[in-house]
Amino acid sequence: MSSKVTLATGPVSWGVDFADSPGNPPWPQVLDEIAQSGIGALELGPIGYLPEQPERLCAELSSRRLTAVGSFLFEDLHDAAEQERITRLAGRVSTVISAVGGGTLVLIDRPGDERAATAGRSQDARRLGDGEWQAMLTTITRVGRIAADHGLRTAVHPHAGSYIEFPDEIERLLADCDLPLCLDTGHAAYAGIRPDDALIAVAPRLAHVHLKDVNRTVLRRIQGGELTFWQAIAAGVFCPIGSGIVDFGAVAAALRRIGYAGFATIEQDRLPGSGAPLDDLRQCIRALRRAGIGTDDPGHEGGAR
C-alpha cells in the first residue's frame, strides 16, 4: 500500500501550549515563520492565541497561503469537576476550526502533578479507578459530540504524563470509546512504545498523526526518575526530527503499510522563547523528506491548495 502524507506544523513548536503564557512569541511571527518554512498547513494552537474572529483569521492564513488542519484541546480531562468548563471550551474551539475550514479536533488530557511525575515510567504510574475513568470518558464523549455537531472529527491523543499514555491505557480507551486516535511518534517513544508498531496496531482507529523525536540522553534521565514531564520539556526531551531515537524510516514504512492518507503535524514541544524554532522545523522537514514522509505530496511545498 502507499501513503499520502501532507506535512503540517503549529505554534506548539514555538513553545505555545497555552494561549496566556507570558513568554509566547507574537502570533504574526509564528505564522510568518511557518510560511517561510515551506509548510502549507498548520494546527491553530491553543484557543485565544491566534485571532479568534473567523474573518480575520481566514485573512491572516490566506495572506500567507496557509491551510488550517484543526486545533487541540489540552485540558484536565481526568478531572470531573472540569467537565462543564471543558465542554464549553470545546464549543468555542470547534466553532473556530470549522469556520476556517479545518477538520480535526485533537483532544489531550493535560499532565497534572501526579502523572507528570511518573511520565515515561509505566511501572510507577497510578491508573485511574473505574469511576475516575468513566468520568473522563464522559468528558471525552461530550467533546466528541460537540465537535461532530460542527462537522469535525475528534482524535484522542495518548500523551506523556497523562492518564492515557501507556499501552494498557490506550487499549482501555479503544475498548471503551468509539473515537479515533491521534498517534504521536514522540509521545509513543517517551512512553516506551515503538511508534511504527503503534501505527500498525491502531491503524483501524487512526485519524491523525503527530511527528516528533525524542532526545536519547534526556529520555534516560526520565527513565531514571530524575525528571517530571514538564522538567523534561525544559531539558529538551523533544528534539529536531532525525536527531533523536525515533526511526522515521520505520515510521514511513508503517505509514505506507497502513495506507495512511492525511495530515501529519510536525511538533517539537519546548519552552516559549527557547531555541530556534524555524531552523529546527527546517531540519525536521529535511529529515522527513529523506525518510520518505511528505515527499509524495507536492502540494505541501509553498502552501498552495
Quick: pLDDT tens for 115-137. 999 999 999 999 999 999 999 99
Of 140, 110, 89, 107, whose CA–CA distance to 233 is shortest?
Answer: 110
Angle at which helices 83-99 and 54-63 pack, to 10 degrees?
50
Per the DSSP assignment, residues forming a β-bridge with 106 are 72, 155
Q: Is 24 helix (H, G, I), strand (E, B) or coil?
A: coil
pLDDT in tens, 16-57: 999 999 999 999 999 999 999 999 999 999 999 999 999 999
Contact (CB, 8 A) for 210 and 260: no
Alpha helices in 24-129 (DSSP H): 27-37, 54-63, 83-99, 113-116
Grid coordinates of 77? 480531562
Burial of 48 (0-12, 13-18, 19+ CB in 10 A): middle
Question: In whole angstroms, what is the distance from residue 47 CA to residue 147 CA?
Answer: 14
- pTM for the full predicted model: 0.95
Which tens digit of pLDDT belongs to each residue from 189-215? 999 999 999 999 999 999 999 999 999
Query: Which of 151, 147, 142 is CA-nearest to residue 87?
Result: 142
Structural domains in the chain plus CATH codes: 4-298 (3.20.20.150)
Q: Report the percentage of the chain scoring pLDDT > 70.
A: 95
Tell me the CB-side half-sphere exposure of residue 38, using CA atoms within 13 A: 15
Amino acid symbol at 69: V
